[in-house]
Amino acid sequence: MALGAVFTVTAWIFAGVGAVAAQISGGARGARTLAILVLGLSYVLRMAGDVSALGGGGLEWLAWLSPFGWGHRAFPFGADDWWPVALGVLCAVLTAAGAGYLRTRRDLGGGLLAGRLGPASAAASLRSPIALAWRLHRGLLVGWTAGFAALGMIFGAVAGSVAALAEDSAGVGDVFARIGGTSAVLDGYFATVAPICGVIAACYAVQAALRLRDEEQAGHAEAILSTDVSRFAWAGSHLVFALTGPAVALLAEGLLAGLVHGDVAPMVNAAVVQIPAVWVLAGLAMLLIGVLPRLASLAWAAIAGCLALMMAGPLLELDQWVLDVSPFAHVPRLPAVAFTGVPLLVLTVIAAVLGGAGLIALRRRDVPV
């Protein structure tokens, strides 16, 4: 009962978070972004706080900032404490009530963060597809990069607690060694969190790629393509940010993790090698936009599948061919193992083929569809 209550109340809380995000943003894309950021931040805060507490660190309080942290402290099959569940119910009620109140404060069909009218004519700096794409993507780039930098700081700060925890518990050291593929605990820890950062970066890549579909559905693409801008130039300008944006964010995560931990190069390398796998999922999103535009949102399902295989695959002892479905299964687990460039080259080629096929299909179909 306690375990079921934890799952249920956590779902209620994030239903409330989604409802609040829907009132703040003027569109579904913005609401998804806000809700996913809160979800990801909650997961990271809970993990950082719990690992720090087990290792005797001073960051235990971070877990109390996360609904996941409250649910964990119900201790199903242990103490069965119900007061954290009650705290979660209170949070769910407050978020739902807050969403209802915010609903009364915004315009119908709009959000609290209402879009502003732009100037009547574009500046010279906006008169190219890449310049317009920069204007549309710069907020995402800054936000995701800042979030990844904070993520790197947390992972770097928790590393000391992981080492202390492994010294106190051989079982914990074995877990990190099994998942990370090495007996060196800290290397195993960073080899474990790096693919998680890669999956999160893939969310950014897919979101940026799907901006193409959003622009098409809003009618903006039709207006742009009625000029002398080609479809390749229009789509390529968005793909530039779908590919380079996650790379910048991962670089920021690795750099900050290394600076906080005190060893920059291995942390940067562990983050950067995730980029080709991220590009594969961005290429898949482009392929769906070109071939099956109405089902383009299935790119999110691919990310969910990669995360499920990454988190549960080794524990369930799934066959290797099942694990290999995820592009992240082919990324070298730095710094736990030696660098291998061939898998990264193959992943890059696959991403190029998927993205190229999507661009060709986009050129041959109706816009809008």
Largest CA distance in the chain: 68
Mean pLDDT of 243-272: 94
Q: What is the mean pLDDT of the chain?
A: 88
- The values of phi and psi at residue 193, to 5°, are -80, -25
Distances (CA, A) of 368 to 189, 240, 283: 46, 22, 20
**Residue given tokens 């562990």 in the structure block:** 270
Which of the pair, 63 or 58, is modelled with greater confidence?
63
pLDDT on residue 61: 84
Structure tokens at 114: 């209402």
Taking the C-alpha atoms of residue 284 and residue 127, their distance in angstroms, rounded to an integer, is 29
Mean pLDDT computed over 101-126: 82
Residue type (1 letter), 124: A
Instruction: Give pLDDT, residue 63.
Output: 84
Q: How far apart are CA 346 and CA 279, in angstroms?
A: 11
Q: Which carries the bigger pLDDT value, residue 175 or residue 63?
A: 63
Question: Counting beta carbons within 10 angstroms of the beta carbon of residue 282, is it exposed (0 to 12), middle (13 to 18) or buried (19 or more)?
Answer: buried
55, pLDDT greater than 70: no
What is the reported pLDDT for 73?
A: 85
Kindly state the tokens that stand for 281. 């999922």
- Looking at the chain, the whole-number percentage of residues with pLDDT higher than 90 is 57
Q: What is the structure's pLDDT at 182? A: 47
Q: Rounded CA gap, 121 and 2, in Å? A: 60
Rg of the chain on CA atoms, in Å: 22
The crossing angle, in degrees rounded to 10, of helices 275-291 and 231-261 is 150
More confident residue, 197 or 173: 197
Please report which confidence band the pLDDT of residue 317 belongs to, taking 50, 70 and 90 as the band edges: confident
Q: Are 235 and 213 in contact (CB under 8 A)?
A: no
Rounded to the nearest 5 degrees, what angle is found at the Cα of 338, between the Cα atoms of 336 and 340?
Answer: 125
Q: Is the pLDDT of residue 362 over 80?
A: yes
pLDDT digits (tens, 9 = 90+) for 235-257: 999 999 999 999 999 999 999 99
The pLDDT, as a whole number, for residue 299 is 96
3-state secondary structure the chain: CHHHHHHHHHHHHHHHHHHHHHHHCCCHHHHHHHHHHHHHHHHHHHHHHHHHHHCCCCCHHHHHHCHHHHHHCCCCCCCCCCHHHHHHHHHHHHHHHHHHHHHCCCCCCCCCCCCCCCCCCCCHHHCCHHHHHHHHHHHHHHHHHHHHHHHHHHHHHHHHHHHHHHHHCHHHHHHHHHHHCCCCHHHHHHHHHHHHHHHHHHHHHHHHHHHHHHHHHCCHHHHHHCCCCCHHHHHHHHHHHHHHHHHHHHHHHHHHHHHHHCCHHHHHHHHHCCHHHHHHHHHHHHHHHHHCHHHCCHHHHHHHHHHHHHHHHHHHCCCHHHHCCCHHHHCCCCCCCCCCCHHHHHHHHHHHHHHHHHHHHHHHCCCCC
- Burial, 272: exposed, middle or buried (Cβ in 10 Å; 0-12, 13-18, 19+)? middle
Q: What are the pLDDT digits (tens) for 177-236?
A: 565 554 567 888 888 889 999 999 999 999 999 999 999 998 999 999 999 999 999 999
Give, in order, the Cα–Cα distances in Å from 103 to each of 21, 29, 166.
11, 18, 49
Residue 277 and residue 205 in contact, taking contact as beta carbons nearer than 8 Å:
no
Convert the pLDDT of each residue in 6-49 to its tens digit.
Answer: 999 999 999 999 999 999 988 887 888 888 888 888 888 887 78
